[in-house]
Amino acid sequence: MELKVPSDAYITQYQQQQHLDHARSWIQHLSRQSIDHAPFFVRHTTLVCTLGELWDSDEKIDQMIKGGTNILRLNLSMGSKERYAEVIRRVRSLEKSYGHNPSVGIALDLSAPPVRTGLVNGSVDGTIVLQNGQMTKLTIDSQYENKTTSSIIWINSQYFPSILNSIATGDRIYIDEGIISLIVRDVEVNSISCFVEQGGEVGSYKRVHFPCERMYEATFNNLYKSDLEFAVQCQVDYVFTGYSINVDQIIQAKNILGKDILLFAKIETKDSVKNLHDIMTYSDGIIIGRGSLSLCYPNEKVFQIQKQIIAKCNIFQKPVFVITHLLESMRFKPRATRAEISDVANAVLDGADGLILTVETSRGLFPKESLTVLHKTCREAESTIFHERFWIDLKTAREVRGLSTWDPAYFACLAAVEASTTSNSSAIFVITTSGRSALAIASFHPSCPVVAIMRRPEIARKCHSIRGIHPFVYTAKSIFQEQLEKQLGSHVCDAHPEAAWNDIRKAVETVVISASTVNRKVREQHWISAASAALIDAWKLISSGSEHNEERSQLKHKLTRSLRNDCEQWWIAKAREMEKAATIGNSRQLFRLVKETDC
């Protein structure tokens, strides 16, 4: 989506940020804040919106995308696979009509276990009120599926058909993230009689938490695998799963999804918090399910857990999203409370990569207004972050944990962020094929946007996993690999080996410049190894003629691999020089290397 901003206003904005970033401490940075300063024109935080019936049309989805939605979340427990397959097709068609700019990721949410209430009087927006001290029943009898009342509440137990067998008298059952609490008085064949300990308003499709619901996992496993296969079939970009208590569950899901779908694990239980490090290692991202965590820990502990998980994910360069009760009041009101605004802002200040709206957009009356409030709040929060201190702390934390390596890409990204901060840059442009370089740069949370230019729309959609990346899909005809292959093969049968070598050298250099961001100074230095030089000489000695075609072809592949290896070795040497310069504080040497490598 094109963003038109007056250049003078844009410069003023970053002058304000420069004034703030050159503070020497967090407290000094905060003391310099001005209430009149303009927020960032470009929002960095990823916004995820859950599809709802109120805006399930091409026109309304288009409005939500243009309003700032980066990822569309489809909650599989609240809709059929047939319906969501059609939604995915329509969203892909819309994105294509934009020229893939903006790109829109699609996430399939597989909540585990999705035990929910039925429709209240046949209406999605219907509600009932449970009074403290009254008796009510929870039933799995399908005749009450669309007839939930205060005296009998139907629950969807398709994943756990024998769930009632795990309930005992005296157990507590929670509805709607713990807002409603029931105490079991009697267990019958198809229902449970309960005493309402804490009453309140209950709506359609509210989640029901049982104490022993994970005892019957055989049926759930089969349905869960079916849902994962559906995600693969629809080629979604993300899968959000609550079935993530341990590493085995993550590996099982990854084996089905493959490498093209990012798996985000929800941290919702004490076991998942305990196994956080292992879950982070094997998953592609983390989602902090605050609603479920509040049932496992005291409410006053949940904010601490959120900060801890976000910090760990930032250090390990793992995307982290926050979900549940962000703008809960906007389900029925067009204006958020100050507490909700502060909650959202603090999640951004903590370092969350994305925020997920659930009932606010899935069943709320003001989905577009909720998105607008979230967008504005994120912009304001991002403009108050002490970016310079933030990325320095990240760098230090990663070094302490031994996460910084001699990988040249790491130092190239680090140098790019430092250069952008020192020069007060308006943006960092990255030309990338896989998106990894853009993700690595953005993981340091620079103050300016990271504009990632790429060719594949599916890679652009995955770039929304880290905040600060603004993917741009370049759709013009590719010249990189095609040019290399064309030039390498054009003179196989040519009678002029010298001309053939000139074309080979030109083609290889073009690919290195475009794909590896190595400028002409690389070519001016002696980076070609003796092995490559020998292959060049061998190429010149090969006579023309069809009898030498196979030999030329083999030599072509060897030469290409050798030259690429030479370039990698050059990068490693420069990376070591960068590290040495950074260690001794030689800024002049560091920036000379940055300029030399075009970082």
Same domain for 511 and 547, yes or no, is: yes
> For residue 295, what are the domain limits?
44-105+219-388
Same domain, 514 and 540: yes
Co-location of 140 and 266 in the same domain: no
Q: At what angle do helices 367-382 and 58-66 cross, to 10 degrees?
A: 10
325 in the Ramachandran plot: left (φ > 0), alpha (ψ -120 to 50) or beta?
left
Q: Last residue of a domain, which of 174, 189, 209? A: 209
Tell whether 281 and 312 lie within a shared domain. yes
How many independent structural domains does the chain possess? 3
* Contact present, 516 and 449 (Cβ < 8 Å): no
Catalytic residues: 73, 116, 266, 324
DSSP state of 481: H
The first and second tokens of residue 408, run together, are 């040249």
pLDDT over 60 at 13, yes or no: no
Kindly report, residue by residue over 458-514, the tens digit of the pLDDT.
999 999 999 999 999 887 765 544 544 454 444 333 334 444 434 434 433 333 222
Rounded distance between C-alpha atoms, residue 187 and residue 67, angstroms: 49
**Are 196 and 180 in contact, with CB atoms under 8 Å apart?**
yes
Query: Could you tell me if 175 and 269 lie in one domain?
Result: no
Nearest Cα to Cα of residue 96 among 461, 354, 430, 438: 461
Task: Report the amino acid identity of residue 117.
Answer: T
What single-letter amino acid sits at 511? V
For residues 231 and 66, what is the distance between their CA atoms, to the nearest angstrom?
25
- Same domain (yes/no): 498, 525: yes
Q: Is residue 545 part of a domain?
A: yes
**What are the residues whose beta carbons fall under 8 Å from the beta carbon of 384, sequence distance 6 or more?**
20, 30, 33, 349
> Same domain for 201 and 121?
yes
Going by the DSSP 8-state scheme, the letter that residue 543 receives in this structure is P
Does one domain contain both 157 and 274?
no
What pLDDT is stored for residue 584 in this prediction? 60
Among 82-91, 414-423, 478-487, 488-497, the range with the most confident prediction by mean pLDDT is: 82-91
Residues 224-275 pLDDT 10s: 888 999 999 999 999 999 887 778 889 989 999 999 999 999 998 888 899 9
